[in-house]
Amino acid sequence: MEMFYNLFLFVSVLVCVIDPSAGEGKLVMVNLVYRHGDRSPIVMLPKDTHQLDDWPNGLGWLSKIGMSQHHALGQWLRNRYTTENTLLNKTYKHKEIQIDSSNENRCLMSAYSNLAGLYPPTEEEMFDPSLKWQPIPVHTRPEKEDNVINMGMSCPRYDELLTETISSKEVQTVETKNKEFYSKVENYTGMSGISINTLWMPADTLFCEKAHNLTLDPWAYEEYNNMTIYERLRKLDAWQFHLLYYNIEMAKLKGGPLLKEMRENMNNRSSKANYTGPKLYMFSGHDTTVAALLSALGLYKDIPSSPGYAACVMLELYKTENYYYVEIHYKNNHQMESNASTILKLKGCEKKCKLEKFLSLTDAAVPKDWRKECYTRNPPSRSGIHLSTSEIISIVMAVVLIVTLVCLIVTCVKLKRTTSEGYKTFVNS
């Protein structure tokens, strides 16, 4: 028996010697996306006790809590990528990192707060001895031109799919079941038209008030079907959030463009012998950005709830002597005080997923021609065309201008003919 045991140990050692890649690889690149930090509400509830006076910086604004959350995440990333792994230099090197952000103030401010934690300046880097901060560029683009982070670029096919989802029997059954509940919420909040599309507004506003230690109005704690109204709003909001990426095509259209960029970054790193590009690609976005990427990867179901403030997904690329592999890590705000992050496993692959297999498994989730794939499958009929007020005004003004020009041309022609005839009469007399 002892002989077989010794033989087993010998073979195990031999395998490790023959195949050095059987051990841990070296971290060579990270693509990460995170949600912005804690913020003020997006909307005010007309009948709510708390109004704009309670939010001096305005609506949708990153709070001090949110700044602190991202500063802490930046410190965690610094420890992970400069101490645990030597991916990044401990001092800021602009060629090592690229930061892109949604064009929302809270996302831009989150990125700057994060970078303050990731790259605290040394004495040599400080331009003002009293300021322990250094400027690091963050790139952004207008909302309507961004299909990667903000996802505000128009995609009619996605809108069509979302409408179909909301109109499905499953969702309409929930709508009918909650009709009385919606009516109650409308009565308490002063809002109208509460549905699965809009209930996120009161749910989010109450959540923000609670997070900032503001006392909720008594109705929020009223019992309704074995839970409080607040709890029911939060539960329905989480379900509604899931509907945004209800099927593979919806996830592909929203999360696919970001996944495509991350795949291209990793492919460039692995295929170029003399790669000199960034080692860390950082994307500062929203809960929808994080959820869209996870949905495109088929991993959204693997996280316990919708992405909270400062939730972060990291696609880490490792290199062994023989191949590259990818690890997917998820860190939520509750894990911020520890070094913990959750490793997510791509369906059909190991936690250490070889890059070639990762690219193969995720290929279907990446749009080949996003603009073309965003074309609607059901173009509207003439009776279904709807124009905005500004579009109607523009059309009317254009018509008026054309008519005016035509009238002016006709008048000029008539005037020219009259002048010419008068001159001929005068000469002949």
pLDDT in tens, 46-79: 999 999 999 999 999 999 999 999 999 999 999 9
Q: What is the pTM of this model?
A: 0.83
Residue 186 has a pLDDT of: 98
* pLDDT above 70: residue 19: no
Provide the residue type at 246 as one letter: Y
How many helices (H) and strands (E) the chain has is answered by 13, 10
Confidence bin at 335 (pLDDT 50/70/90): low
Task: Indicate the domain borders of the chain.
Answer: 26-153+247-373, 157-243
Residue 273 has a pLDDT of: 87
Confidence bin at 1 (pLDDT 50/70/90): very low
* Side-chain half-sphere exposure of 7, counting CA atoms within 13 A: 4
Is the distance from CB of 30 to CB of 315 less than 8 angstroms?
Answer: yes
For the chain, how far is it from start to end, CA to CA, in angstroms?
Answer: 138
Confidence bin at 196 (pLDDT 50/70/90): very high
**pLDDT single digits (tens) 201-242:** 999 999 999 999 999 999 999 999 999 999 999 999 999 999
Q: Look up the CATH number of domain 26-153+247-373.
A: 3.40.50.1240
Residue 176 has a pLDDT of: 97
Q: Would you name the residues annotated as active-site residues? A: 36, 287
Is the distance from CB of 138 to CB of 119 less than 8 angstroms?
Answer: no
Tracing tokens 């002949």 back to the chain, one arrives at 428
- Report the DSSP pairing between strands 342-344 and 312-319: unpaired
**pLDDT single digits (tens) 247-302:** 999 999 999 999 999 999 999 999 998 999 999 999 999 999 999 999 999 999 99
DSSP state of 29: E
Is the distance from CB of 98 to CB of 136 less than 8 angstroms?
Answer: no
Confidence bin at 340 (pLDDT 50/70/90): confident
